[in-house]
Amino acid sequence: MLRNLFIICQIVFLLISCGEPLPKNDTFLKIFNNSDEDIFWFFSFERTGIWYDRISINSWLEYDDYIILKGESYIDEFNSDAMKNNLRQGWYKYYLFNYDSIKTIPWERICSERIILKEVTFNSWDDFERCNFEIVYP
């Protein structure tokens, strides 16, 4: 009985692990913060836009990866084929905010008054290539 259970577990493991490999991140966008303030960044697709609810932003704030300290930079890695597919369906935007503002100003006000340091829209893969896969703030 125990032997049969072991064999079944091995078969299930093999079946699960035989799927297509996940695409590798083969491209990156570098975000430079050349300012004297810490910034917070995130991206969105045409389907979602900047108008996330406050809960979504709070979940983003939990990750240090979205904070770029003054004078620092961040590399956002992604799969180029997946990105090209996303761009066929709409635009792709990067938003940069003052980090202290995100923590203290209500999200509804940030959206209504567009309290954004910088907004960069990519409508095509060519847009990424034209900017040399870099966003520089300011």
pLDDT score at 56: 59
pLDDT tens per residue across span 114-125: 899 999 999 999
Q: Other CB atoms closer than 10 Å to residue 51's CB: what's the count? A: 11
Domains: count for the chain: 1
| Whether pLDDT at 5 is above 50 | no
Whether residue 2 is contained in a domain is answered as no
Whether residue 60 is contained in a domain is answered as yes
pLDDT tens per residue across span 46-56: 655 555 544 45
pLDDT tens per residue across span 124-136: 999 999 999 999 9
Domain of residue 50: give its range.
24-137
CB 39 within 8 A of CB 64: no
Q: DSSP string covering 50-62, please?
A: S---HHHHHHHHT
pLDDT tens per residue across span 14-39: 444 444 554 577 889 999 999 999 99
Whether residue 124 is contained in a domain is answered as yes
Whether residue 15 is contained in a domain is answered as no
pLDDT tens per residue across span 83-93: 898 888 888 88
Whether residue 12 is contained in a domain is answered as no
Rounded CA-CA distance 5/7 in Å is 5
Scanning the structure block, which residue is given the tokens 């930079």?
73
Whether residue 4 is contained in a domain is answered as no
pTM above 0.85, yes or no: no
| Whether pLDDT at 138 is above 90 | yes
Question: pLDDT above 70 covers what percent of the chain?
Answer: 70
Whether residue 117 is contained in a domain is answered as yes
